[in-house]
Amino acid sequence: MRVVDIDEAKAHLSRLIDEAAGGEPFIIARSGEPLVKVIAVDAPARMSTRIGFMAGQVSIPDDFDSLSSQEIEQPFGLEP
């Protein structure tokens, strides 16, 4: 994400706001220390949604919760 010094932000605020409104958020910093993040109010968060990204590509067997149960239970003397 772009970091802009506070003096540059003062000089070019209108342009920077237009860019942020267009989906390009930026951070205003003073002496290299980040102060605030500027982002459009209605801009979607730039997070990738990972839930369901492999839908239809992976199958889980019906007996998934009991796979290898004998091998797991044997060391504990829990054999059926």
- Give per-residue pLDDT as tens, 4-53: 999 999 999 999 999 999 999 999 999 999 999 999 987 566 666 677 77
User: Whole-model pTM?
Assistant: 0.51
CA distance 22 to 15: 11
What DSSP assignment string belongs to the chain?
-EEEEHHHHHHTHHHHHHHHHTT--EEEEETTEEEEEE--TTPPP-----TTTTTTT----TTGGGTTHHHHHGGGT---
pLDDT of residue 20: 93
pLDDT of residue 9: 95
pLDDT of residue 48: 63
Domain boundaries, the chain: 1-40
pLDDT at 72 exceeding the cut of 90: no
pLDDT at 76 exceeding the cut of 60: yes
pLDDT of residue 43: 53
Superfamily for 1-40? YefM-like domain (3.40.1620.10)
